[in-house]
Structure 1
Amino acid sequence: MDPNLSPVGRRAAAIARHLAAVLPAPPRLAPPVEAAPCLSYAPPESNEATQAFHPAELRALLDGHHLRERDWVFGAMEESPLFCRRSRGGGRVFVSPDYNEGKEGQREATMRRIAYLASRGVFRGWLTEPGPDAELRKLALLECLGVYDHSLGIKTGPSMLFHALCLSPLAVPATRLSAAIHALVTPQPSLLQGPTMEPASSSPAARRAVAIVRHLAGATTSSLGLGTSCCLAYVPPESTEPLPAFVPVDLRRLLDGHNLATRDWLFRVMEESPLFCCARRGLGGSVRVFAWPDFNESNKEEQREATMRRVGYLARRGVFRRGSAIKFLGTKRHHDKWLVDTENYVIKGCFAMTELGHGSNVRGIETVATYDSKTREFIINTPCESAQKYWIGGAANHATHTIVFAQLHINGRNEGVHAFVAQIRDEDGNVLPNIHIADCGHKIGLNGVDNGRIWFQNICVPRENLLNLVADVLPDGQYVSMINDPDQRFAAFLSPLTLGRVNIAVNAAYISKLGLAIAVRYGLSRRAFSITPDGPEMLLLDYPSHQRRLLPLVAKVCLYSSAGNFMKKMYVKRTPEMSKAIHIYSSALKATLTWQNMTTLQVSKALYAEFLSAQKKTKPFKGLGLDHLNGPIPVIPDNLTSSIFRSSKFQMDLFCLRERDLLKRFAEEVSHHIAQGESREKALMLSYQLAEDLAKAFTERTILQIFLEDEMNVLEGSLKEVLGLLRSLYVMVSIDESVSFLRYGHLSRDNVAGVRKEVMKLCSELRPHALAIVSSFGIPDAFLSPLAFDWIEANALSTGSH
């Protein structure tokens, strides 16, 4: 083998030698396939029974608010070539360029998208317009942006093999492809010594493209003699599924909850911009596919520049949300100075709280800000390596300013963690003196975000740069605060993080909708096996096992959406008295909706404190939905029938019984450990298993209670019946997946067995409504992967250039 070959060249040579040894010679072209009956795609809409409801009604309930704004955003994205608006199969498909290009190219693409969104007004008013409606609109737009962002991995996954063919600047004409095929199937001396590589001037992607072409050429349509006329044809589900029994927008209004029109506007804004999607080439000539090698060779700089262009584009379109720390921790002097420029992305900020040595334990951070009363400045310093600000999004390349969290020292006294505004780069992007910034390195994903590390070497910031909503330092060095208790003051400093938890939780539900919309549509068009000797193959979603896998997830995401809307509306209407409840609800829902259990103990501790408080003061439970603890213990019937299983009263009684029992058990176990000499914190940790069960019981009861309230507000009709099926399936699956009901005797073994049978019944009854429900999610077709539509054409080798 030629020692001068690159690693890619050597791998290509090895593949060529292997193929030359295993492929027959001389080649014989396969005879043309006759136009015999082939597998064909039948759209679910063409053969399903009449739908019982209109999906628009359900969408209205699912989205819950600002449907027109959501649709406006979706439409804005669909209209723009920045979002890759080329049509295929009757709808647009979006594929991110981030995983095909170098990192520099990826960042440029991101910033162009952001600039486009900003120019469309997507970010307008996110910080400057007050009131709950403005905040709900902002959250709706964030959810729309999340739909675009998280659709990328789903769409690139099935087809990454052809990435180099699609992205290479090297053209591969048909004559050259034929020559490559012939070279593969005919042993030649040159193949034994390594394949002929492209000139040194060709890019690595180009050389890989040639190697992959040679490797795959034997499977092309021309060599197999396949014709398109006899191939399986895609049939859209809309042509075979029944008409919806409800208006999908009504369900979407419940699921999204607010600002539907704003969300749709943002989707359109992204669809209109090539920054959010590049031109598709490759399979079927209509969809871009990606290969792993180019993804590996993308550099961080390219990806981050793309991100910043997207951010800038979104800012110019009025979408962008920046400066929350300044808005919520600062006062008028900070708002006047920074908010408008931050919202318009003239100032690019980052949030420097996490350190190498301290993440969740913010109170333990080591960065120090010392006040100098002579100069009236704070001197910010990184005293040790563990104090370096770490994993700070935007710091490595683009941020011009940062919110620094540091221990405030005045005259030798530590006043605790405070936040300061510090400039870290000049207008030209140069790092300022006495500041050191380094990259955190390549990540598995999201390399368009430049996570970085920051060291401060005694930099000086004006006294006015202290974000002083909670506390301030007077010119003479006097420390003043309206909150005397240090614990409460620290909690006030961290209160802006609540919005982050809320946003993570609701976006987790939205991203789940994206995947489920794709999976359900695919299950309504893809067939496999026949249950009769000569009968047609069955749709995947007609298999009970497939229904059991997908439809419970559909039910869960519908209830999660309702809970997320409850959390958002509570947040935007917050008062100081609601802070504790908001913290507990947001922590619980974030953990549940994102499959994270790190907040389990935190939620359980709060419930334990409420329990002890009520016991000591002999006062009734108030708030957090714990009022049911004041009443008698619910009684669960011995013999449970299907009608009882589906009764909302039975469902709430059972969930309340479980929560009540687990709270009592948890309190008793913690008290036992304390009696044995353990500290309160250690006792809580030792009771973690019960804490986990209790937190889950609290969250599931909360989600059910919220959805029941939404369901009660829906008029009698088909939509209300479907909501009842979704609710009952959620409850039955929650019981089926939790051993606590059986472990602690909340249900008998026979009744638990009956629950599993009820799950299958409910899945069967929801099956006719599946398409209408996912249509209610309000996600434009352009954001769904090829699998949701004509997956045959998307994977065809016989059409277009590859």
Structure 2
Amino acid sequence: MISLKRRRGGHEARVEISALSGTFEPEWLRPVLDGRWEPIRQEARERMRELRPPAGESGDTEQERARVMDGLRRLAEQGYPRLGFAKEYGGEGDIGGSVVSFEMLGFGDLSLLVKAGVQWGLFGGAVQALGTERHHSRHIRAIMELELPGCFAMTETGHGSDVASLQTTATYDPGAEEFIIHTPVDKARKDYIGNAARDGRMAVVFAQLITDTESGESHGVHALMVPIRDERGRALPGVRIEDCGRKGGLNGVDNGRLSFDHVRVPREALLNRFGDVEPDGTYTSPIENPSRRFFTMLGTLIRGRISVAGGSGSAAKTALALAVRYGEARRQFERPGTGTEVKVLDYLSQQRRLLPALATTYALHFAQEELVAALHEIQTATLQPDGAGEGAGDDDGKAEEWRQRELESRAAGLKAIATWHATQTIQDCREACGGAGYLAENRLVQLKADTDVFTTFEGDNTVLLQLVAKGLLTRFQHDVEDLGTIGLARFVAEQFAEALIERTAARSTIARLLTARGEPDEDDLLDRAWQLRAFEDREKHVLEGLARRLRRAAADDADPFEVFNDAQDHVLRAGRAHVDRIVLEAFVAALDRCDGPAAPLLAKVCDLYVLSTIEADRAWFLEHGRLSPATAKALLETVNELCKQLRPHARTLVDGFAIPGHLLEVPITQGPPATD
């Protein structure tokens, strides 16, 4: 037992840290980490035996694209895409398993991961989620088997995150029973579209649906299947395809730009699960409210955002595995009086750089696992071949609607935090490996280049955190999207309460823990009840502060935009505090499930995640009286002590990810054997 004391102004902070004794095996961690989809993860590891990681980009864009397309064909031949598609069309109907399988690709070639995500996650997923039997029976098998390579054409040059304001039009011609797809202005060009520059033959195009040409009134954004190339790879009439060219990374993915000049497609090209057009031009939808229809449609596509969070987690795990192995092998400077050089990972500065990041990676892994399980349960129940959208707008469907909104909010928040974490972690790992980490052969610079864009695709992270905060403030408000900013502020002023805070699947575990331990003590930093209360209290306080600031928008002379814009710092902090809390709760729930020999090690990892997170936001906790100065200083020493205790187990912790060994066989990890 190690005791740390801090005294200042008559106040003493004491932290008792039990020693972590014994050895631990990676095999003890794997069942906890692999979780519900352990067979899927193991199958993915076997499949990756024949895949080699790219040693670095060649500079030959065509060569890299061809290599990745060959890899995509191998995945199709191995049956990789079947997991996520309906059994009626040759799939396996395992939505959660398909996300996990995609996540595992992140240990290897990230261009292949993204290419697979475009083909089977975005393009194929949109056809399955937004289409009906006429689309499924005709296209799903061809998409799975890669006979029909496709694109997901949503983002426009002028409107990225603002999907509702897309300007591409799909105007119905009742005489010909066709839709006319058109790009009316340059900024309506579909931009950065994966598979568009080289391989795609069909695109799911998101456009404003117009059935009355006289009024030009839109029924909102809908999706249509639009052919863009013939079988010989030539652009079809009216379709303009441009190559985005080389990027900072992911150059095995052929991103392109699409524009349409009055391209005609048959009426049946409309993916009509949530809205259809009769031959005479009559528009019908099972969801009467346009705003609810739009958000329901987008909600079915949430799988892509969740997949990006998982893929970025795999990249962070790979970087940490490389850096820890390097830290074990590399020696620098002699330890006085011993005649031996010190392992780099024995330096506290190196531990401080890598081990809190490793703890956060574990925490995000468990949060991702919960998120995938929630996605699986919701979409397994709702993504049926036909008629799944019916009743979505009825009062009886409100509970299901709120479940979906909570899923979307959590997915947005975790995607933002996980991808930011991957970007920072990979950079820290690169620096921890010195100049050797900058060599392409050691993978780290390629990981950094390939994951950099993860922070902005499938939703810009800053915008996503704003969505999280808005979801927290509008949980019980019906059709809040119709209210606008001033209506939102009035609602907040009248309705804000603790019930707005989302409860995760871990809440029953948390409640038992808090009840059993009673009121936690600030000075006991390792008390799990205190840790949970600290995260929950911060979230609640920030949300209440945000609500007070937004109340000003209800004043008659207030500019609603300025009020909301001026509160952006509070909005982002609220989103971040919320995500931190649900990540911790997911970790605690995982500990509750873990009754094996790895439990003491994971408990220490959880402590390090909590305290390093509080340390990063120490100013807030001090400014708001949640930590005394003495406890804040004890916090720093406790993080140091946890790093020292976890250092002997760092290799075990990264080996617990069970990354296929050949993907880590790079020069940086092949140093001289360590000797004690």
By the TM > 0.5 criterion, same fold?
yes
For the residues of structure 1 that align with 2:306 and 2:121, how far apart are their CA atoms? 17
Shift of 1:680: 4.2
In structure 2, how many angstroms separate the alpha carbons of the residues matched to 1:618 and 1:653?
20
For each residue in 1:246-280, what CA deviation from the matched residue of structure 2 results, as whole angstroms up to 9, or x when unmatched? xxxxxxxxxxxxxxxxxxxxxxxxxxxxxx8xxxx
CA contact (8 A) 1:373 1:477 kept: yes
Which residue is 1:505 aligned to?
309
Partner of 2:37: 66
Quote how far apart the aligned CAs of 1:713 are.
1.5
Q: How far, CA to CA, are the matches of 2:412 and 2:594 in structure 1? A: 29
TM-score by length of 2: 0.78
Match runs of 1:403-422 below 5 Å: 403-411=204-212, 412=215, 413-422=217-226
Between the aligned partners of 1:619 and 1:50, the Cα distance in structure 2 is 45
Q: 2:278 aligned with 1:478, yes or no? A: no
Q: After alignment, is 59-68 or 604-613 more displaced?
A: 604-613
Cα shift at 1:635: 6.5
Give the structure 2 partner of residue 115 of structure 1.
Answer: 73
Q: Which amino acid aligns with 1:100?
A: S
Counterparts of 2:556 and 2:624, CA distance in 1: 24
1:441-474: per-residue Cα shift (whole Å, max 9, x none)? 2212222211111121111111111111111111
User: Among the aligned pairs, what percent are the same residue?
Assistant: 32
- Compute the displacement of 1:400 (Å): 0.5
Q: Which residue of 2 aligns with 1:393?
A: 194
**1:55-84 deviation line (CA, Å, top 9, x unaligned):** 112122123233343333323332x3xx34
Q: What's the secondary structure of 2:167's corresponding residue? A: coil
- Conservation of the 8 A alpha-carbon contact between 2:33 and 2:366: yes
Change over 3 Å in CA distance of 1:58–1:447 after alignment to 2: same
Deviations 1:588-612 (A, max 9, x none): 1111111233322221222223498
Structure 1 residues 343 and 679: CA distance shift in structure 2, 3 A: farther
Comparing 615-624 and 356-365, the one that deviates more: 615-624
Per the alignment, residue 406 of structure 2 pairs with 581
Q: Deviations over 1:402-443 (max 9, x none)?
A: 011111111232211111111111111111112111112221
Aligned length: 566
Match of 2:54 among 82, 86, 95: 95
Aligned to 1:302: none
2:609 is matched with: 730
Secondary structure of the corresponding residue to residue 204 of structure 2: strand
Who is 1:539 aligned against? 343
Alpha-carbon distance between aligned partners in 2 of 1:735 and 1:320, rounded to the nearest angstrom: 36
- Which of 546, 554, 570 is matched with 1:666 structurally? 546
Match of 1:433 in 2: 237
| 1:295-327 deviation per Cα after TM superposition (whole angstroms, max 9, x unaligned) | xxxxxxxxxxxx99x869x99xxx988511110
Matched, 1:625 2:503: yes
Alignment partner of 1:145 out of 105, 111, 114: 105
Q: Secondary structure at the match of 2:80?
A: coil
The answer to whether structure 1 residue 720 and structure 2 residue 585 are counterparts is no
Q: Does 1:653 align with 2:533?
A: yes
Q: Deviations over 1:361-415 (max 9, x none)?
A: 1111111111111111111111121111111111112111001111111123221
Deviation at residue 718 of structure 1 after TM alignment: 3.5
In structure 1, how many angstroms separate the alpha carbons of the residues matched to 2:493 and 2:239? 54
1:772 corresponds in structure 2 to 652
* Cα separation, 2, equivalents of 1:482 and 1:435: 32
Matching residue's letter, 2:414: L
CA distance in 2, matches of 1:730, 1:50: 20
1:693 aligns with 2:573: yes
**Could you tell me which residue of structure 2 aligns to residue 286 of structure 1?**
none
SS of match in other structure, 1:445: coil
- Distance change >3 Å, CA 734–CA 787, structure 1 → 2: farther
Q: SS at the partner of 2:258?
A: strand
- In the alignment, structure 1 residue 126 sits paired with structure 2 residue 84: yes
TM-score normalised by L of structure 1: 0.66
CA deviation map 1:650-692 (0-9, x unaligned): 1111111111211111111111354373344542221122222
Q: Is the aligned partner of 1:566 residue 2:370?
A: yes
1-structure distance, mates of 2:310, 2:264: 39
**Matches of 1:384 and 1:323 in 2, distance apart?**
28
1:500 and 1:681 map into 2 onto residues whose CA distance is: 31
Amino acid at match of 2:405: K
Q: Are 2:64 and 1:106 aligned?
A: yes
Indicate the RMSD between aligned Cα atoms, in angstroms.
Answer: 3.0
Select 1:515's aligned residue among 319, 330, 335: 319
Which shifted more, 467-476 or 781-790? 781-790
| Structure 1: runs of 5+ lacking an equivalent | 1-48, 85-93, 153-275, 277-306, 794-802
Q: Which has the larger radius of gyration?
A: 1
**Structure 2 counterpart of 1:25:** none
Conserved 8 A contact 1:350-1:393: yes
Alignment match, 2:631: 751
Q: 1:618 to 1:784 in 2, by over 3 A?
A: closer
Kindly provide the amino acid, as one letter, of the partner of residue 311 in structure 2.
N
8 Å Cα contact 1:380/1:459 also seen in 2: yes
Gaps of 5+ in 2: 1-19, 379-399, 421-460, 477-489
Between the aligned partners of 1:675 and 1:102, the Cα distance in structure 2 is: 59
- Counterpart of 1:344, as a letter, is E
CA distance in 2, matches of 1:384, 1:548: 52
Is 1:607 aligned to 2:472, yes or no?
A: yes
1:147 is aligned with what amino acid? F
User: CA 1:340 to 1:746, structure 2 compared with 1: closer, same or farther past 3 Å?
Assistant: same
Contact 2:179 2:266 in 1 (8 A): yes
For residues 113-146 of structure 1, the C-alpha deviation after alignment (integer angstroms, 9 at most, x for no partner) is 2222322222234323389971222122211211
What amino acid is the match of 2:273?
L
Q: Does 1:551 align with 2:510?
A: no
Is contact 1:122–1:320 with CA below 8 Å preserved after alignment? no
> Matched residues in 1 for 2:503 and 2:292: separation?
24
After the TM superposition, which residues 41-440 of structure 1 pair with which residues of structure 2 at under 5 Å, given as runs?
52-78=23-49, 80=50, 83-84=51-52, 94-96=53-55, 99-100=57-58, 102-129=60-87, 134-150=94-110, 322-411=123-212, 412=215, 413-440=217-244
Q: Which residue of 2 aligns with 1:677?
A: 557
In the alignment, is the contact (CA less than 8 A) between 1:368 and 1:406 conserved in 2?
A: yes
